[in-house]
Amino acid sequence: MNNNNNNNIYQQQIQALQQYKDIKHSIQSWITPKVLILSSPSVGKLFQKTNNSSLHEVFAQYVMEKKKANFKIGESSYDLQDFKVNFINSKSLDPQENPNLFKDIGNTVDSLSTDEYCNNFKLRTKQDIPYFQKICPEPTPWFDKYRHNFIRASHYLETETFAHPLACIIAVSSEDQNPIGMLVKMFDPAKPPQIFQQYNIDPNIPKIYILVHPETSHGESDKRLSEMKNTFGPTVSYILRVNTKEDYCGLHFDPSTAHLNPLTLIINDILQKHIPNYIERSMIDLSENIATNRKSFFSKMKVSFRIGNKKNEKEVEQDATQSNQVSIEQSMRKMADQYFLLQDYEQALSNYKSLVKEYNSDKSPNYFASVNEMIGICNFMLNKESESYLELAYNNYQKAGLNHCSVRVAFLHGELLKRKSNYKALSDLYKQTAEKDIDPFCSAVLWEQAGFYLMHSPWLLFRKACMRIVMAGDKYSEAGKRKHALRCYSFSYSVYEGRDWNFIDDHLHLSLVRYSFFQGHTSDAILFVNKLLEKNCQSFQKQNSIIREFLFISKSYTKDNYIGELPIPSILNDSIQVGLNDYSSEASKSIWRDMEDGFKKEAQIISKPQLQGFDLWRKDLFVEAEKERTAVVEELITVEVEIKNPLQIPLQFNRVHLVASFKDTTEGGTQMEESNMSPLDDQALEKMQAGETPFIVEPVDLLLGPSETKKLLFSIQPTRPGLLVIKGLGLCMCGVIWGKREFKLKQKRLNKTKAHRESVMYEPNLSLTFRVTSPMPRLEVQFLEFAQSMFHGELRQAKLLLKNCSNKMGLKNVRIRLTHPSMVCFGTSDQDASLLESLDSSVLLNISLKANEQVTIPFWVRAIQIGRHQLGCLVYYESEAGNSDLKYRLARCQTEFEVKPSIRVATFSQQSSSDLNAYILGIEVDNSMIGESTAFNLAQFSAISKFWKIQPLSYQDQVPNKSIVTIKSNQFTNLFFRICPNLETSPTQQQQQDKLSITNISFDPSLSMFDSSSFPVYNFLELEKLLINYQLSQQQQQQQLQQQNQPHHHTTSGSSLSLSPNSQQNYDHPNHLDLVLFWECNSNSGSSLNLLSGNRIGTLNFPNILFLPTHYSDSALSTPWGSWKSTTSPSGKIITLIDPNLKIQLPLRFQLHSDLDVNHSFQQNPLCIVPLKLQLMNCSFVHQLNLTVECLLPHENVFDHSSTTSQYFWTGSTKTTIELKPQEIVNLPLYVCFNQPGVYNINRFKLSVKLSESSKDIYSTVQHLITIKDT
């Protein structure tokens, strides 16, 4: 029902609009008899009071219907079917009131204005225009009505006599003091109102006198009426009883009861009696007047024709007859106008045509224009050619400066052009008119029409059309029609958008910002402010004014001064960093990640599923979704953001704070989302400080200079468990407007399922989402007394402070991981030491802390790598109360220190040539620090091995000269030691295998010995070995990977008898020992910085020094003799102390013993037989050796020509098979025989050793010279 009604109303509206389309209708309602209504102030008040109307509006209701009227002019009679009059008041006649009049006309079409021409249409190219015209044939529905109202209301009293009133209604109230006197005074024909005199309006028009009598009034109405009838005549006196309580004083027009209404009577009298009578009479007067003057008129015309060139004369003549002439012309005009009013266009036209000859365009362009206009209109009404007349009229109105008349002509002419589809000319005509100084709304309407008609033109000048629509927007804004203006701007904007027309863009953006705001489209406004400021190409003055305007507009058009998303400042979203106690920040993530993962594994919180086999194909399905991070109640979450001012002017922001939303997710919670989006004014601040909010933020004041970027740290403190999401920043711009800036985090594009791929979906970024959990203890960790600078190998003690910051909760299960695990040993002695088993495990400290307790843990640091280091310490702890959300927490601390180089050591080892079971060890100590005054004193040298001990070789019991163990800058020293088996421990005794033999050699007997086997020296040695093993295994893995990548590259070391290379037991043989060199120094440099000034000690470890039996004759078994190997590794790179080829490949040593000088009398015995002893030793502690000793024939003498041969012969048994048990030494007797004196080299024997698969032949390469002397 309602819908139907609406439809009906709409239909009616359409019909009403339709009638405005007919311009003839507009002309008729414009050129129609006018009835002036003059009312006394009390009457005005009466109508004003009841319905804010006036008497003429009440009258106007009664002429909507068709009224008939009869006129008799001379012989012809006019029977008008639809005779209308316009009721006007004196105000609308007054030209002074014109601007207000036009404004009122503009306001009549307000209800028709639209937000946009067409929904969802964007004009981008000219190809869009036909589509636009199709979907939106009539973009400006208000135009016709406006045109109608404009034409209807416009009048130019000086020339247009049809605008003069033909009758006058004079109304007084019976409440007035002297109504009769007043009626007389209000219109005295002798002294008519000023406007009548000014425009030569006939004062002798019929006058109708009305006494308005309110029913409540006590005045005697009947008596007054009869008085009036006596004074003015009975036909023109009326009484109008009104009911002040009803709308329109009870005079509202109702078609059904209209015939009973007193007004109907009055109006019918006016239309059918008074006006016809007047017109008939005035026509007679006019024709008489014209007739009497015609003669002189024609004679004058003839004169002027004859003396056409003598202008001066003519002007004088004209001036003389001016007064007379005006009246004739005016009479003619008036007569023509009255014919027009009687709708006799033929008669009117002929009159106008004869009149037009009287005027000329130079002298009186206004009259000339007006008559031409009327000729045009008459022609138009008669459907004849009228354009040329209208053009003339238009040009002459322009000449006369009558812009509004020219607008009217333009409207009429425009309609003609439209009918001819001459859109280009029409558009240009409107544009030309609009540029004149006219009412801004009218100008805007014209610009708009000019724009749209241009689109109809075949050339499709859409850019020009849009420019005109922009101009229309400018004019609309001048007229204060914001809705119209916004529509124009937003329609044209699409043509310029994103095409770099900065200047135009700025203009449009600025306008769009303003009018979007005015229309309440705040989000649009902000969008355009953003665009406006995006390019940043304005001058700073302009930006200043933009900002001011923005602040002003937003202040006056927003609620609570809260605007929502602000356009500035810009937030560098990539720079957002969250600081959370339990998580490492992005920047330092690489340091902590491995350690964190380690703890995760230990705590058995597996984050990633273990994939095997076919799962690997569908890896993406098993990737665990990222979870939000956990924060703890009452602990700060910090967010670091970079904020930039994109403008060239400084900006001030107050109370910048984090904006977040909070949701209570606990069971029985409210599930309500709370946020602090609203302004953080004093009230909100108080509320927050009182703890009523679920989180507390810290506001910061901020001043950003032009183009300045600042890094700011914000914090938020949750006060209840739940889900907290940080949204962005809230701020007060320039102390005026509250708003927020949201963080826009990078999101991963999803690409897993079909749905993901088909549409654009993003994974939520959870880096600003936090699950707030119930209170937990919080541990703070700090390094104390940590030396900042150390020498390589130096040992230092430091402390770690653990402090439980919680007031309520205790913590337990403290574990520690370090970035440099091999550098730190926790504890003070063997008893309380907490040791690492492997490098990737954590140190468990047996500590639990109650609330507010703290503990200091001593530890040793040993500098093993030169350079600057960041020592990171990650401490794991659990709450004593336990927490399901957060099983454990982590605390971090870091310190930085420097390791400077100290002494460097090289070692060499070699088998002893004199003792089968002894080896030589040489160490070369080098202080290569040039320019440093530090001198290092070697304090002690320790060897740690299961089976071996060392003895000094370079000197006897004591160091002969202290200087050889004090190494100054750029000095070096050599020390030699003998490695011999430790007889106390024998490898055969299985039960004692684990026991270590330690030899300590002190270089300064006055000092007490360091215990190399105890904490921390031994532990550091073990750690260093662990590190080396770890690095070795890493290397091997890499090599394996490389080999896998190069499958064709086989190892060519086929001759090697080595065991498989990846065996960890590289040195399963016992021929190795670990050495520790202790040094001391008294460093002055930087002592002020060091807490422990004075003696500093350090140890240099050389683990796994090998000493092997060598067999030179076989390249596979030989080791180079006497090569020094650098054993300290200041850079931390591992030095492969164990060459994989340097296995104990053949654990056999042999030596030949005999007398070297033999005196023999060859005369007594021609053969000299010398006994030799071949010592054979099995170096292995485990394996048994089977070997055959075979004596070989000596070489032939080199000198063939020599008469004598110097040969020796083996005698006795020359081939023996021997079985050697582990560590067994066997003396094999051999005999050699000489027949001449001389020097012989006895080395011609071969040892064939049976190995597991093959046998190996060994030839002696050592000279064994025996000198035989003849006595």
Partner 1 sequence: MKKVVCVAIIGKGNNPLFIQEFATGLTDENKLKLHYIVHCSLDIIEDKPGNTKKLSSELYLGLLYPTEDYKVYGYITNSKIKFFVVVLDTSDIKDSDFKIFFKRLQNLYINTTSNPFYKPNTKIESTKFLQEVINLAPSL
What is the contact surface with partner 1 in residues (CB under 8 A)?
A: 126, 459-464, 467, 470, 496, 499-504, 507
Nearest-approach distance from CB 441 to partner 1, in angstroms: 20
Residue showing tokens 């601390």: 893
Q: In a 10 Å sphere around its CB, with 0-12 CB exposed, 13-18 middle and 19+ buried, how is residue 842 labelled?
A: buried
For residues 961 and 767, what is the distance between their CA atoms, to the nearest angstrom? 68
Q: Between residues 462 and 977, which has the closer beta carbon with respect to partner 1?
A: 462
Q: Between residues 648 and 1058, which has the closer beta carbon with respect to partner 1?
A: 648
Q: Between residues 459 and 1199, which has the closer beta carbon with respect to partner 1?
A: 459
Please answer whether residues 1187 and 1217 qualify as being in contact, where contact means their C-beta atoms are separated by less than 8 angstroms. yes
Q: Between residues 502 and 1267, which has the closer beta carbon with respect to partner 1?
A: 502
Write 674-678 long-range contacts (CB < 8 A, 24+): 675/727, 676/730, 677/727, 677/730, 677/740, 678/560, 678/562, 678/738
Task: Find, among 708, 711, 699, 698, the residue nearest to 651 by Cα.
Answer: 708
Q: Between residues 425 and 833, which has the closer beta carbon with respect to partner 1?
A: 425
Nearest-approach distance from CB 432 to partner 1, in angstroms: 9
Nearest-approach distance from CB 499 to partner 1, in angstroms: 5
For residues 465 and 1230, what is the distance between their CA atoms, to the nearest angstrom? 124
Q: Between residues 466 and 1168, which has the closer beta carbon with respect to partner 1?
A: 466
Q: Between residues 56 and 531, which has the closer beta carbon with respect to partner 1?
A: 531
Locate 1242 and state its tokens.
């006895």
Please give the C-alpha separations between residue 68 and each of 88, 258, 277, in angstroms, as whole numbers.
Answer: 21, 16, 14
Q: Between residues 507 and 978, which has the closer beta carbon with respect to partner 1?
A: 507
Please answer whether residues 713 and 578 qualify as being in contact, where contact means their C-beta atoms are separated by less than 8 angstroms. no
Eight-state DSSP code of residue 161: G
Nearest-approach distance from CB 460 to partner 1, in angstroms: 8
One DSSP character per residue, 581-624 reads TTB--STTHHHHHHHHHHHHHHTT---SPPP-GGGGGGGGGGSP
Q: Between residues 195 and 537, which has the closer beta carbon with respect to partner 1?
A: 537
Angle between the 221-232 and 179-186 helix axes, to the nearest 10 degrees?
Answer: 40
Number of Cβ atoms within 10 Å of the Cβ of 763: 14
Please answer whether residues 1260 and 913 qualify as being in contact, where contact means their C-beta atoms are separated by less than 8 angstroms. no
Q: Between residues 118 and 460, which has the closer beta carbon with respect to partner 1?
A: 460
Q: Between residues 410 and 631, which has the closer beta carbon with respect to partner 1?
A: 410
Task: Find, among 577, 898, 521, the residue nearest to 726 by Cα.
Answer: 577
One DSSP character per residue, 1220-1263 reads E-TT-EEEEEEEEEESS-EEEE---EEEEEE-SSSEEEEE--S-
Nearest-approach distance from CB 518 to partner 1, in angstroms: 22
For residues 886 and 581, what is the distance between their CA atoms, to the nearest angstrom? 12
Nearest-approach distance from CB 473 to partner 1, in angstroms: 12
Nearest-approach distance from CB 1129 to partner 1, in angstroms: 50
Q: Between residues 310 and 463, which has the closer beta carbon with respect to partner 1?
A: 463
Q: Between residues 468 and 484, which has the closer beta carbon with respect to partner 1?
A: 468
Nearest-approach distance from CB 470 to partner 1, in angstroms: 7
Length reported for the chain: 1271
For residues 609 and 1075, what is the distance between their CA atoms, to the nearest angstrom? 45
Nearest-approach distance from CB 395 to partner 1, in angstroms: 16
Helix, strand, coil in percent for the chain, rounding step 5: 35, 30, 35
One DSSP character per residue, 19-40 reads HHH-HHHHHHHHSS-EEEEEE-
Vertex 931 angle, CA 926 and 934, to 5°: 60
Nearest-approach distance from CB 118 to partner 1, in angstroms: 21
Nearest-approach distance from CB 502 to partner 1, in angstroms: 8
Vertex 1239 angle, CA 1235 and 1243, to 5°: 90
For residues 183 and 195, what is the distance between their CA atoms, to the nearest angstrom? 18
Answer left, alpha or beta for residue 225, where phi above 0 means left and psi between -120 and 50 means alpha: alpha
Nearest-approach distance from CB 507 to partner 1, in angstroms: 5
Q: Between residues 58 and 495, which has the closer beta carbon with respect to partner 1?
A: 495
Nearest-approach distance from CB 521 to partner 1, in angstroms: 24
Task: Find, among 705, 706, 686, 704, the residue nearest to 696 by Cα.
Answer: 686
Nearest-approach distance from CB 438 to partner 1, in angstroms: 17
Nearest-approach distance from CB 74 to partner 1, in angstroms: 51
Q: Between residues 476 and 826, which has the closer beta carbon with respect to partner 1?
A: 476
Q: 1118 Cβ partners below 8 Å, 6+ apart?
A: 1110, 1111, 1112
Q: Between residues 470 and 1249, which has the closer beta carbon with respect to partner 1?
A: 470
Residue showing tokens 């007043």: 182
For residues 975 and 972, what is the distance between their CA atoms, to the nearest angstrom? 10
Nearest-approach distance from CB 469 to partner 1, in angstroms: 11
Nearest-approach distance from CB 821 to partner 1, in angstroms: 53
Nearest-approach distance from CB 534 to partner 1, in angstroms: 15
Please answer whether residues 1022 and 1076 qualify as being in contact, where contact means their C-beta atoms are separated by less than 8 angstroms. no
Helix (H, G, I), strand (E, B) or coil at 811: strand
Please answer whether residues 998 and 944 qualify as being in contact, where contact means their C-beta atoms are separated by less than 8 angstroms. yes
Q: 1268 Cβ partners below 8 Å, 6+ apart?
A: 1158, 1160, 1168, 1170, 1234, 1236, 1237, 1238, 1239, 1240
Q: Between residues 225 and 469, which has the closer beta carbon with respect to partner 1?
A: 469
Q: Between residues 103 and 464, which has the closer beta carbon with respect to partner 1?
A: 464
